[in-house]
Amino acid sequence: MRAIGHFYNGRSQPGDGRLSDVFDPNTGQVQARVALGDTALVEAVVAASKAAQRGWAAVNPQRRARVLFEFKRLLERDMDSLAYLLSSEHGKVIADAKGDIQRGLEVVEFACGIPHLLKGDYTQGAGPGIDVYSMRQPLGVVAGITPFNFPAMIPMWMFAPALACGNAFILKPSERDPSVPLRLVELLIEAGLPADVLNVVQGDKMVVDVLLDHPDIKAISFVGSSDIAQYVYGRGAANGKRMQCMGGAKNHGIVLPDADLDQAVADIMGAAYGSAGERCMALPVVVPVGERTADALRGRLVEAIEGLQVGISTDADAHYGPVVSAAHKARIETYIQMGVDEGAELVRDGRGFALQGYENGFFLGPTLFDKVTPQMKSYQDEIFGPVLQMVRADSFEEALRLPSLHPYGNGVAIFTRNGDYARDFADQVEVGMVGINVPIPVPVAYHSFGGWKRSGFGDLNQYGMDGVRFYTRVKTVTQRWPRGGVLADSSFVIPTMT
């Protein structure tokens, strides 16, 4: 049985004490056991990180960027093996696993520009003989708590800008698929990162709470469910930490009558069922405007669902693979039954799907509901599985209200050929990320990722310039050099420009 431990002192370290099973979602069998850390381990790792951070912060930004450039090269070299390892623990198909890695790699590319991104401001002659300048400095030791659904992308979203800015970083990955984060740290060490600048502590809530309470950790970034995001944000902020916590989602796809229906269906299918729906930027709700649009869309979706192929993660022909665990599969099935009980029309039922030869795997077929209403709990909650719900709207205004009034506000998409409607929608919708004929509007690496309402807690978003701002603090210097060594008499009045 493969044993998965932690990473500190520049190498992988075995764990002892509590263990957690790591499954192969394709077979349902335990393939490894990961060690779960404790308070003593976190204390030791924080101390090592704190000691290493001082030297790393003293390295100039250009040299820090060179480490990230080399890390990028190693990621590209090992893309295939990383994708296979990721798929074996998560269950997403290989092509999707490569996308997971690539989107993280793009943030690494952005962070390679850190010499420019860290430049401060300068004002000469702000007052008589007075100059003012600002600088961005690292916070010290920071941490990231990442979810199971993107075990490569989201850690890189966090640690790439944090390291580039001169911080030391402690990563607490999901215990469900912990191997890829360890491999990423090994590649960074190979790229020239000093030992203990990036460490990994495996664990569960016990480790999370120790990180949230530790006085030497200055900031924490989190991605996960909204209830836990709110808890993490509140506890960390109460301890004086800078917090950035991304929660759940219930993204809507609005389909107007003038939309290119063939393209919209193709986009919705990939966004709703890709990665078995285990994405916070999935599109689990589709909102056709008008009965004619709804009936046509439903017919096309049913036809497209018939052509979906569910398979093991290494099947190149599969559109998606299993969900991550038996417990998560059971949770999704509970929500499907909830939709039935609430009166939604179950058009396609993904329960009971079995893949020949992999009957114990965590597979679900694609599910489609029609005539879902906003009052249903199955609509209000994030299901996080291959379940698509159709909510019919009579008008553009009604369609606009649905995502705006929903408790989540992560992403939304509108499908239309009408620029007027698209512009009004983007301006008025109460959601953080908007796609116009783009089903999964995850911003590129030099913008920032972040939702509104219960999808995001904290003032700064992930990556982009918000990432640089999150992992640094600004120091502003006002300087004066006396001429001839003579200073004016003491003044007891607040300095002004008069």
| Positions marked active-site | 280
Q: Are 152 and 179 in contact (CB under 8 A)?
A: no
Alpha-carbon distance of 355 to 362, in angstroms, equals: 10
Alpha-carbon distance of 274 to 267, in angstroms, equals: 10
Instruction: Give the CA count within 13 Å in the CB-facing half-sphere of 186.
Output: 12
Q: Are 108 and 156 in contact (CB under 8 A)?
A: yes
Residue (of 262, 250, 249) closest to 415 by Cα position: 262
Q: Are 200 and 171 in contact (CB under 8 A)?
A: yes
Q: Are 207 and 172 in contact (CB under 8 A)?
A: yes
Give one DSSP letter per residue of 412-444, joined into a string.
Answer: EEEE-S-HHHHHHHHHH---SEEEES-SS-PPP
Alpha-carbon distance of 171 to 203, in angstroms, equals: 10
Give one DSSP letter per residue of 160-206, joined into a string.
Answer: HHHHHTT-EEEEE--SSS-HHHHHHHHHHHHHTPPTTSEEE---SHH
For residue 19, count other CB atoms closer than 10 A to its CB.
Answer: 17
The token pair at 438 is: 């783009």
By DSSP bridging, strand 367-370 and strand 387-390 are parallel
Instruction: Give the CA count within 13 Å in the CB-facing half-sphere of 448.
Output: 21
